[in-house]
Structure 1
Amino acid sequence: MITTTPNWIADITMEELERNPYPYYERLRAEAPLAYVPALGCHVASTKEMCRHIAGANDGDFEGVIAPAGRRTFGEPAVLDANGKQHDELRAMVDPGLQPSEVDRYVDGLARPIARHYLEQFDDDGHADLVAQYCEPVSVRSLGDLMGLRSVSSDKLREWFRKLNVSFTNAGVDDDGDFANPEGFVPGDEAKAEIREVLDPLLDEWTVEPDDSALSHWLHDGMPEGQVRDRETLYPNVFVYLLGAMQEPGHAMASTIAGLSTRPDQLERVIDDPSLIRRAITEAVRWTSPIWSATARRSTKDMTIGGVELPAGSVVMMSYGSANHDENDHDDPSRYDLDRTPVPNLAFGAGKHACAGTYFATEVVRIGLEELFEAIPNLERDTAHETDYWGWGFRSPLELHATWEV
């Protein structure tokens, strides 16, 4: 049973959501905080209260699940789609290297040389597209090296996450509930085949000679002596990380620069006082959440929430990007404001399935911005170019053109 859907919600298209989801979610927050959206084939939670209620439920009412397009992209068992003992085991595989104390041990030596390397490529030019030339390369190279993919070029890593993103966000369904665009999964399938071709020899090496890379640890840690984890357990989670974890820092960094660029006085303050960078990042991921609407929960029994009937098995998409614009928490939420009263946001999720790499991602962004602002303290937005955003599942500036005097 699907709760009756108002006509305006039924008319929402995937193209409109990818281009600019904010007007639709503003109306959802006001009129239908939990609503069935036919274009997505699932319910959507759009307010902070509703997202927290569903994501944080711990009484067995909801379980973690990937929306159908995500399951088609990643396969099983993916950490986002696991529950109970299986989820605990997968988190025990990926979490240790991402704990703050562990990240503090290695992140500066990992990310700072990478940031400096990419800055050297363009800091004498006086102009750059910071998304393509800095934010994304620093992000993918940092995670790629952490995972043990040093032999894979940054351009190839960016290609992989873009292709996986096309597949993951290919969520549109037809009236029968089938994927409206099956061809939309082809890029993701191509990327996964390439990833397996590259990783299989590396996994062979790490099986015999473990090293300190994350994937080597995934193979060995917690396993009985002489055994390694099955690759079919590893690969779905490799795909998760090569999409979500690879784009998060780069897109958060780009959104921080873009947000500050709308407030030149605040950009100048942050450049002059690097201690403000963490606060600038926090506001940026609230303002434009990198993971905008990419996680979901599934009801385990029939229930009614906010007057909406949810039959057992109903999928609810958690729209954290919408929740972070909740008017109950923020005045003028669409405005970037470094001086906004800090309120905990949902940029990295909530509950047991909250992002494991929150601290790592934030530290990579911090280091990247520290290096950028130190090297180019007179950075300004290039007003000859518009800053266009794209994405409903993952959202960020497509390009971010900047200029400076050399």
Structure 2
Amino acid sequence: MDGNTRLHDTPDWIANITIQELENNPYPFYERLRKEAPVAFIPALGLYIASTKEACRAIAKDGETWGGFISPAGGRTFGHPNVLNVNGPEHKELRCMVDPALQPRAVDGYVEDLVRPIARRYVEAIEDKGAADLVATFCEPVSVRALGDLLGLQSVSSDKLREWFHKLSVSFTNAAVDENGDWANPEGFTPGDEARAEIREVVDPLLDNWEKNPDDSALSHWLHDGMPEGKTRDRERIYPTLFVFLLGAMQEPGHAMASTIAGLWTNPEQFERVIDNPKQIRRAISESLRWTSPIWSAVARQAKKDTTVAGVNLPAGSVVMLSYGSANHDANDYDAPSKFDMDRKPVPHIAFGAGPHACAGTYFASEVCRIGLEELFETIPNLERDETKEIDFWGWGFRGPKELHAKWEV
């Protein structure tokens, strides 16, 4: 079935959806998709969308039929090969490059010493002010600084790291195509191009040093691990995955922290309980990841052979975007899914994906989020929402609050 045939057969409510509508609020559209078209071709994106938990999980776990793939906008942003869009031995090699430092046992060995001083430093910078936008002053800075220091980018300021991930995000989510399948907004990739060029300029000298003087930073290990004696990994096999990390892995803990706070503010009793008992923070984070998944709809798979999902026949080569944020609102698994409720019956979410391409940094991201919120709630236990400011969530590929204005008595 070619693109024109698919467009002809597509209902108007699907054919007319725009990227801007999805960025502002994807939930109503995806709720209808889950009910009427769990797997559907979306002309604005030029690919299929899987919106139910059942469809997303079936595709993610079936490595025989589905291979790792990155959306066209993602491929344009990151380049090839990256850990998201390769399969087989090539995927195994890149996962062996990035996984060791992110395994739970490894993370447990360093995460407290790495993250807690960072979180403490940022909360101390705002505690005497009585008010702050927590996204800009705490959640995102803690997130980017933690990953930046793990990678070995201590020389790069937190502001610059935030700038890089925002620019890469603009490029990655510039997914709209016209009726011919061409980019609707080619200029939308300019911020990502600028960020990538700057990242290379900054990181190349660091790689030069690590080639001769390896240390315990993650990027040093990426250069050396699994390589023959005296050899280092080619940089063109490092940079595309580094760009993936500097977007997805940098935004994820920060957005999860912000969404957890925003969710708790909708349920004051649960918020007070978490403040009084920090052991409840993990539970709140888990519900937040379901409620507003940071990686909302940014992972794709490509069919290796003809197949059928949710009653839809998909020929080999079909690309399907797995919408985890939609799957985590599937009413078949969750009662009142739009409500934040950390007391709901525990049903595993898929905010970090499933199968061989599941997120490598699941445990690290969760621990960064936990430690950050522990420090924030302990230092400012009387934190409350500034009701004079709206909480606007944004994003279809990656989603979280744009701002989170809080106030407290000093």
How many Å separate the matches in 2 of 1:323 and 1:305?
15
Pick aligned residue for 1:73 from 69, 74, 77: 77
2:49 match: secondary structure = strand
Q: Does 1:102 align with 2:106?
A: yes
Q: Does 1:331 align with 2:320?
A: no
1:316 match: secondary structure = strand
Matched with 2:379 is 375
How many Å separate the matches in 2 of 1:399 and 1:303?
42
Pick aligned residue for 1:352 from 347, 350, 356: 356
Matched with 2:211 is 207
> What is the aligned residue count?
405
Superposed, 1:3-402 pairs within 5 Å as 3=6, 4-58=9-63, 60-402=64-406
1:293 match: secondary structure = coil
- Which residue identity lines up with residue 370 of structure 2 in the other structure? R
1:81 match: secondary structure = coil
How many Å separate the matches in 1 of 2:235 and 2:255?
29
How many Å separate the matches in 1 of 2:237 and 2:134?
36
TM-score, with normalisation over the residues of structure 2? 0.98
How many Å separate the matches in 1 of 2:261 and 2:345?
20
How many Å separate the matches in 2 of 1:73 and 1:324?
27
1:121 match: secondary structure = helix
2:115 match: secondary structure = helix
Shift of residue 306 of structure 1? 2.5
How many Å separate the matches in 2 of 1:159 and 1:13?
26
Shift of residue 301 of structure 1? 1.5
TM-score, with normalisation over the residues of structure 1? 0.99
How many Å separate the matches in 2 of 1:304 and 1:386?
43
2:144 match: secondary structure = helix
How many Å separate the matches in 2 of 1:363 and 1:308?
39
Shift of residue 304 of structure 1? 2.6
How many Å separate the matches in 1 of 2:311 and 2:231?
51
How many Å separate the matches in 1 of 2:258 and 2:52?
25
How many Å separate the matches in 2 of 1:306 and 1:112?
45
Shift of residue 350 of structure 1? 0.8
How many Å separate the matches in 2 of 1:371 and 1:395?
24
Shift of residue 312 of structure 1? 1.1
Shift of residue 265 of structure 1? 1.1
How many Å separate the matches in 2 of 1:340 and 1:126?
33
- Residue by residue, what CA displacement relative to the aligned partner does 1:270-320 show, whole Å, maximum 9, x if unpaired? 010001000000000100000000000001122232221211111000000
How many Å separate the matches in 1 of 2:370 and 2:308?
42
- Which residue identity lines up with residue 150 of structure 2 in the other structure? L
- Residue by residue, what CA displacement relative to the aligned partner does 1:230-265 show, whole Å, maximum 9, x if unpaired? 000000000000000000000000000000011111
How many Å separate the matches in 1 of 2:318 and 2:186?
23
Consecutive unaligned residues of structure 1, counting only runs of 5 or more, are none
- Identify which range, 121-130 or 187-196, moves more after superposition: 121-130
How many Å separate the matches in 2 of 1:180 and 1:384?
37
Shift of residue 6 of structure 1? 1.2
Shift of residue 7 of structure 1? 1.3
- Which residue identity lines up with residue 392 of structure 2 in the other structure? D
Identity of aligned residues (%): 72
How many Å separate the matches in 2 of 1:203 and 1:149?
11
- Which residue identity lines up with residue 143 of structure 1 in the other structure? L
Shift of residue 338 of structure 1? 1.3
Consecutive unaligned residues of structure 2, counting only runs of 5 or more, are none
How many Å separate the matches in 2 of 1:242 and 1:80?
14
2:320 match: secondary structure = strand
